[in-house]
């Protein structure tokens, strides 16, 4: 009893930190396992994507100034992991936190559906090319010419 009373509070806090981290990670891992094991409904995913399109664009290409990232064609598992991280505050962005919360994506099935739809969106090469600056094109052709035949 005396020994316990002499352990400073900050030591207790420090010792419990790794435990908290492990707990958070395993919760996120469990959620990831649950979602990735579901059979997705892509047409329901397309309906849910309407909300996402407001920021990420109809093609999922994001905004060219980089304020909203391109998500089209991203791997299913990566999208699911990102959504779970935003929901659980493991990754912080108030917009994503709001639009991936339980009011917008109510159940694990919703996450599987919308993530599948996004992962199947064709990556928009035209928009990608439009973002290239003349200096990028010079750089790329210089690189390619050095690769040889
Ligand atoms: C209000 C605007 C907004 C809405 C609506 C929105 N997002 Fe996002 N999303 C963002 C922003 C901004 C980021 C970048 C956050 C950051 O800084 O990490 C982001 C990041 C992401 C990422 C991580 C991309 C990466 O490469 O790191 C994914 C995946 C994503 N959003 C999917 C979705 C899905 C799916 C929906 C719909 C359910 C959605 N978003 C709705 C604004 C939005």
pLDDT bin (cut points 50, 70, 90) of residue 125 is low
State the pTM of this model.
0.77
Q: How confident is the model at residue 133 (pLDDT cuts 50, 70, 90)?
A: confident
Pocket around ligand 1: residues whose beta carbon is below 6 Å from it? Answer: 51-52, 54-56, 68-69, 71, 79, 82, 93, 95-96, 99-100, 104-105, 114, 118
Q: Spell out the long-range contacts of 125-133 with Cβ–Cβ below 8 A and sequence spacing 24 or more.
A: 127/59, 127/61, 127/64, 128/61, 130/64, 131/64
How many angstroms separate the alpha carbon of residue 96 from the centre of ligand 1?
Answer: 5
Nearest-CA residue for ligand 1 atom 15 is 93
User: For residue 23, is pLDDT > 90?
Assistant: no
pLDDT for 121? 94
Tens digits of residue pLDDT in 42-84: 999 999 999 999 999 999 999 989 899 999 999 999 999 999 9
Cα separations in angstroms, 149 against 48, 113, 145 = 47, 44, 8
- Flag whether pLDDT at 131 surpasses 90: no
Distance 68 CA to ligand 1 centre (A): 7
- What average pLDDT is seen over the chain? 86
Instruction: Report how far ligand 1's centroid is from the alpha carbon of 130 (Å).
Output: 22
pLDDT of residue 44: 98
């Amino acid at each position: 009893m005396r020994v316990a009373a002499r352990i400073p509070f900050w030591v207790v806090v420090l010792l419990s930190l790794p435990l908290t981290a492990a707990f958070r990670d395993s919760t996120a891992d469990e959620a990831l396992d649950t979602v990735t094991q579901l059979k997705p409904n892509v047409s329901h995913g397309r309906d849910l994507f309407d909300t996402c399109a407001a920021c990420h664009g109809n093609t999922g290409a994001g905004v060219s100034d980089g304020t909203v990232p391109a998500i089209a064609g991203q791997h299913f598992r990566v999208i699911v992991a990102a959504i779970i991280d935003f929901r659980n505050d493991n990754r912080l962005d108030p917009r994503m936190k709001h639009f991936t919360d339980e009011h917008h994506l109510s159940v694990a099935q919703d996450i599987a559906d919308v993530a599948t739809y996004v992962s199947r969106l064709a990556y928009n090469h035209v928009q990608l090319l439009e973002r290239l600056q003349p200096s990028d094109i010079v750089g790329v052709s210089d690189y390619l010419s050095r690769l040889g035949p």
